[in-house]
Structure 1
Amino acid sequence: MNTESMKIPSDFILGAAVSAWQTEGWSGKKESQDSYLDLWYKENKNVWHNGYGPAGATDFKNRYKEDIQLMKEIGLTHFRTSINWSRFLLDYENAVVDEDYAAYIDEVINELIEQGIEPMICLEHYEVPAVLFTEYGGWGSKHVIDLFEKYARKVFERYGDRVKHWFTFNEPIVVQTRVYLDAIRYPFEQNTGKWMQWNFNKALATARIVKLFKEMKLKEKNQAKIGVILNPELAYARSTAPHDQYAADMHDLFFNRMFLDPTIKGEYPPELFALLKEHNVTFDYNDEELTIIKSHTVDYVGINLYFPHRVKARETKWNDEIPFHPKYYYEAFDLPGKKMNPYRGWEIYPPIMYDMAMRMKTEYGNKEWFIAENGMGVENEKRFKNEDNVIQDDYRITFIRDHLAQLLKGIEAGSNCTGYMLWAYSDNVSPMNAFKNRYGLVEIDLENNKKRALKKSAYWFHDVIQTKKLRLPTETDK
């Protein structure tokens, strides 16, 4: 087949990610160390696909050496995961470290470094301790921010000499959007005011951890950086008409700029405060807190991009009996003829990569950023196995290739993007969907003692990493 290729920068990150709660399993976990996800699973197990959740996960906690060897075999330059806050401490108020769990994290970090893989560590990937959720309302509480800072200090003290890539949150808008805005996850409470308070408190917590990071001089000691991992869903309007453009702007304001602006620019859009006041959902804040946010922006940003979000102006009247929701200003637009991932129900639209690259360049000061997650979940992948028992996931290869090509196009146009991380290193548990849709370069065979096996995409990704070239089919091959 005739091919052309795109060159990948020599120092470009080509890695993969998972989280603690989605892989570790409960081996060694104390009863008092439930996270919000553990609580949800225990209280609402029936909504998880086949009843499978974080209890079993992929057993990474006992098999991390095996997994890291596979990462090395694939050639990953970086691996991102999280430290499970709920398991790292025995006493959240006084930040008493669980030495058993902390030693396990030590071993994972050391093994990664020994195998030539750079660890990237997130402090919270939906893992707020369950007791803080039930007693204080989770991230609705300013006290929880204080406790998060105590936790972060212990983590930095323990691993700051080795880890150079730190992140406060992964997708800080997600949990409260599912729980309090859309009320589709436990405990199913529609409360837009709580949604907004969680949003603000997590932005404030990020700024306070950046401040702590600077005070502990981790950058000077270890050339380390601290950022946050966000999941903006690029909003595309149905048309160029002003009413549709306004609808897209409103979606962007509430779901994207909500975190992009304070964490990168150090301030909220003024129009946001006006709208929050109009709808009586203003979060509790003071000038001192806004000053902290202004003075402590992140070093870089991870961006999780999977699909576009398409909207149009509302065509039906909003029901004023319903609490305020940003959908007051827009409705979803179903684009005719769009390409879909039918298993996940998400549109496949690779130009989101280039568009995000240009947005970071033009609207956010060309701040350093990288793709922290991108990938494709597919159901029942076993049907694609060949005679050698290797999953032939050509659909995933095409997905990655097309998205990475658009990203490289954005870099060529001057965007300060430094990497691409695939979700995920291996198949893993997702909220509610559990193992229904598989995302990994590595298969986890649940029916065969969680046996690991490389998929075709893993071999393909290895070639991309080794050659630093992305081979593209020519027009005659398409």
Structure 2
Amino acid sequence: MESMTIKIPNDFILGAAASAWQTEGWTGKKETQDSYIDLWYKNNKHVWHNGYGPAIATDFHNRYQEDARLMKEIGLTHYRTSINWSRFLIDYENITVDEEYAEFMDHVINAQIENGVEPMICLEHYELPGFLFEKYGGWGSKNVVDLFVRYAEKVFERYGDRVKHWFTFNEPIVVQTRVYLDAIRYPFEQNTKKWMQWNYNKALATAKVVRLFKKKGYKEKYGAKIGIILNPEVTYSRSTAEHDKEAARMYDLFYNRVFLDPSIKGEYPEELMELLEKHEIAFESTEEELEIIKENTVDYVGLNLYFPHRVKARTNAWNERTPFHPAYYYEMFELPGRKMNPFRGWEIYPQIMFDMAMRMKEEYGNIEWFIAENGMGVENEFTYKNDNRIIQDDYRIEFISEHLQWLLKAVEQGSNCVGYMLWAFTDNVSPMNAFKNRYGLVEINLEQNRNRKMKKSAYWFSELIKKRELKIDRDVYK
């Protein structure tokens, strides 16, 4: 295999990400400030690996200054996290700010800026207030949409003078897919219509927040932008046969275009709307709402890409007695001989970066976008420590290199991709998985007071950022 070195553009983002709930811990949290995630953990703790959850997480609430210094040491250009909506307010209907938490976020943002790291802030990364989930059914409610916009207004007023990168949601499809479509997470209710209403209401909430952002003039005043972070599942058909290609197209329609299209194009695919009617899962909307979505598309998008999704046409008859599920149109397909991350059970296929990048260029008006998450989770990483107790995560370095070279190839071919953010800056808590599979550049040592230690990949990533050069496989660039 012949290698070559390519230059990474000087203004290309090389950062890392995490969320509020996966890092903060509950220090200072009031009893009434549970998020949906906190409720799930309290009601269903046994499914979280070794019982670890959001209660302590990485203790970021007490360690954010130390973490900001580590970000500087690595050289991260940007760091994305979220505001914990459930903690930012103490009254979710009258939008009363919790000054203690708001001040904490002031310190977090300031610490990043002081350490030369550009903050990127998401308004919701699964931190829907438990109060709104229990009282109104969460994102099933239009009232919650409007409360979210009022919450966003308070956040913008507080931090808008310092934060230039804003996002409404991270992976807005995920929570309701796990809860209402597949019923594998608390409170375990299979209800496809409710799933689709949550999807729509989050798209509407995004448009309403974009409208507010524009009205307040944050772009003109501060050069700020607002977008959304999506997790499109780059979908491949088992074969070139029409029935398999159709299965992939349908999967893409229900899981990818359901957010890509309204966010970027301002409208839903006509075929999707017809299918929602056909299967009696159409969302409740008004002409006025659809007009708001049409007129208030995002400035840019972050995309979370980890692995490919492969599907085939159904080989088994659908059980008509069960409620509709998009799997009516497809079955998952496992490619024989695929390269795997054996710890996470995910296929490793770096070409997803290039294929999605070309799609953004050709189908979505070459809108500005970036990789908001990409990374590799590995179990028992402590077994890879050298004599200096530094984790030798060469597999992570290889994973990042391979994905980044496909991404940079797409940039070279005109895709308007402006950066790459690694998941994650430190090891952190994931839903159910907890600390089982580690993703960080920085180790969190659970046995030693959650102390931080840079892994080999952190030193490598630091050099990459400094030199702006990546050694790659020449064959990819042919």
Compute the TM-score of the two structures, normalised by the length of structure 2: 0.99
Give 2:433's aligned residue.
433
The 5 A counterparts of 1:133-152 are 133-152=133-152
Partner of 2:211: 211
Partner of 1:89: 89
Report SS of the residue matched to 2:21.
helix
CA distance in 1, matches of 2:87, 2:474: 50
Q: Please name the residue that 1:119 is paired with.
A: 119
1:285-324 correspondence runs (5 A): 285-324=285-324
Alignment-derived partner of residue 131 in structure 1: 131
Specify the code of the residue in structure 1 equivalent to 2:372. A
Distance (whole Å) between structure 2 residues aligned to residue 336 and residue 118 of structure 1: 42
Q: What is the aligned partner in structure 2 of residue 406 from structure 1?
A: 406
Aligned equivalents of 1:329, 1:3: Cα separation in 2: 42
Structure 2 CA distance for aligned equivalents of residues 33 and 234 of structure 1: 36
**Cα distance in 2 between the residues matched to 1:250 and 1:2:** 39
1:454 aligned residue: 454
User: Matched residue of 2:32: which SS?
Assistant: helix
Go from structure 1 to structure 2 and tell me whether the alpha carbon gap of 1:5 and 1:399 turns closer, same or farther (over 3 Å shift).
same
SS at the partner of 2:139? helix
Q: In structure 2, do the counterparts of structure 1 residues 241 and 473 end up closer, same or farther at CA, with 3 Å as the change threshold?
A: closer
Per-residue CA deviations over 1:377-429 (Å, capped at 9, x if unaligned) read 00000000001100000000000000000000000110000000000000000
User: Matches of 1:438 and 1:111 in 2, distance apart?
Assistant: 25
Paired AA for residue 295 in structure 1:
E
* Distance across 1 between alignment mates of 2:75 and 2:110: 17
Please give the alpha-carbon distance, in whole angstroms, between the structure 2 residues aligned to 1:94 and 1:5.
56
Measured in 2, the distance between the counterparts of 1:446 and 1:4 equals: 40
Q: Distance in 2 between the 1:126 and 1:390 partners?
A: 32
Opposite residue 35 of structure 1, the aligned amino acid is S
1:2 deviates by 8.2
Name 2:181's counterpart in structure 1.
181
Q: Which amino acid aligns with 1:472?
A: I
Q: Residues 3 and 317 from structure 1, CA distance in 2 versus in 1: closer, same or farther, beyond 3 angstroms?
A: closer
Structure 1 unaligned spans of 5+: none
Q: Distance in 1 between matches of 2:2 and 2:418?
A: 29
1:369 maps to which residue?
A: 369
- Deviation (angstroms), 1:472: 2.5
How do residues 61-80 of structure 1 correspond to structure 2 at under 5 angstroms?
A: 61-80=61-80
Identity of aligned residues (%): 73
Instruction: Find the aligned partners of 2:258 and 2:470 in 1 and give their Cα distance.
Output: 34
Distance 1:267 1:252 in 2: 16
Residue by residue over 1:122-161, the C-alpha shift from the partner in whole angstroms, topping out at 9 and shown as x without a partner, is 0000000001001100000000001001100000000000
Q: Which amino acid aligns with 2:455?
A: K
Alpha-carbon separation, structure 1, partners of 2:377 and 2:16:
14
Distance 1:182 1:439 in 2: 25
Question: Any idea what the Cα deviations from partners look like across 1:60-87, whole Å, max 9, x if unmatched?
Answer: 0100000010010000000000000000
1:301 and 1:472 map into 2 onto residues whose CA distance is 26
Give the Å deviation of 1:460: 0.4
Deviations 1:38-80 (A, max 9, x none): 0000000000000110001000010000001001000000000
Q: Does 1:394 align with 2:394?
A: yes
| Aligned residue type for 1:320 | E
Alpha-carbon distance, 1:334 to partner: 1.0
Tell me the distance in 1 between the aligned counterparts of 2:127 and 2:284: 23
- Deviation of 1:473 after TM superposition, in Å, equals 5.6
Superposition misfits of 4+ residues, deviation over 2 angstroms? 472-475
Q: What is the SS of the residue equivalent to 2:104?
A: helix
Q: Which amino acid aligns with 1:197?
A: Q
In 2, Cα distance between equivalents of 1:433 and 1:334: 22
Q: Which amino acid aligns with 1:276?
A: L
The CA distance in 1 between the partners of 2:323 and 2:337, in whole Å, is 34
Residue 332 of structure 1 aligns with an amino acid whose one-letter code is M
Hey, what does 1:381 align to over in structure 2?
Answer: 381
Q: Quick one: distance in 1 between partners of 2:286 and 2:396?
A: 47
Q: Which residue pairs with 2:238 in the alignment?
A: 238
- The alignment's C-alpha RMSD in Å is 0.9
Letter in 1 for 2:243: H
Aligned-partner residue type, residue 448 of structure 1: Q
Which digits, 9 at most, give the CA deviation of each residue in 1:435-476, with x for residues without a partner? Answer: 00000000000000001000000000001100111122668x
Q: Tell me the distance in 2 between the aligned counterparts of 1:224 and 1:215.
A: 13
Q: Size of the alignment, in residue pairs?
A: 475
Letter in 2 for 1:108: V
Output the CA distance in 1 between the equivalents of 2:350 and 2:407: 9
User: Residue 21 of structure 1 aligns with which residue?
Assistant: 21
